[in-house]
Amino acid sequence: MGKFERKEFKYYVPIEMLDPLRQRILVHMEHDPFCQELPKQRYTVRSIYFDTRSLLFYFEKLDGLKIRKKLRVRTYNSSHPDSIAFLEIKRKIDGTIFKERAQVSLAETPNLMNGAQLHLTSNQPGFIERAALDKFVYLFKRLKLESKALITYEREALRGLTDPSFRVTFDFNVRSYPHPDVEEIFREQDLCVLVNQVFILEVKFYQRMPVWMRNIVRDFKLHVQPISKYCNGLNVHLPSTEVREFHV
């Protein structure tokens, strides 16, 4: 918990390639423990993305800035009384992802909107996680952030057999809802599906992509794409006239 950095490559993949692609990858990987016992070995990722009124983070991505960031609150699966949430600051600098995260009680996350104090769930949180929480709250208040999009999808996650830090994920049924309340992070009504007949493959590593994975990418003729679930999720709800008004 706290802070890390890595590379992330993303690809749109036709759904008919899922089984042969998975079979090739599973020679070198195994399912993440968090999804091994779940139906279809997938868990649900639920995130609310925050942005400024003028959509600063949205346009940092659309303009292709080499240094950009986004803030979100994330939780998983279904609601239960002791659900936890992760407050995350995700930055991209020249192709490298830097993520800072703090774990809090999901029940406390609405306090972001009213200025009340948030508390880490760990009994003895480390300095890095405390700093991540302080930074998240500071940016939230200084930039006057608002909730802009709920992004939900099902994820099948794999980790390397020889290097567990090497990760591959398959993301399915990505869907969005605009301007949610923080309490709506488990909302399923009226969500808009972003893409059909494809899933998103993400390859995550710290130094180099393994040769065997590069060979798979080549054999399946996959091409890295600048996929942003937040931007795509907002696009389906944001009128083009509003985009032009902000982007001046």
Q: Which pLDDT score, from 0 to 100, does residue 66 have? A: 87
Q: Is 173 left (phi over 0), alpha (psi -120 to 50) or beta?
A: left
pLDDT for res 81:
81
pLDDT of residue 245: 46
Note the maximum CA span of the chain. 52
Q: What is the pLDDT of residue 248?
A: 39
- pLDDT (0 to 100) of residue 4: 66
The per-residue pLDDT for 244 is 43
Predicted pLDDT of residue 37 = 83
Q: What is the pLDDT of residue 247?
A: 43
Q: Which residues of the chain have pLDDT under 70?
A: 1-4, 239-248
- Rounded Cα distance, 226 and 115, in Å: 34
Q: Provide the Cα torsion 209, 210, 215, 218; round to 10°.
A: 0
Q: Write down the H helix ranges in 5-84.
A: 18-25, 56-62
Q: Which domains does the chain have, with CATH numbers?
A: 3-246 (3.20.100.30)
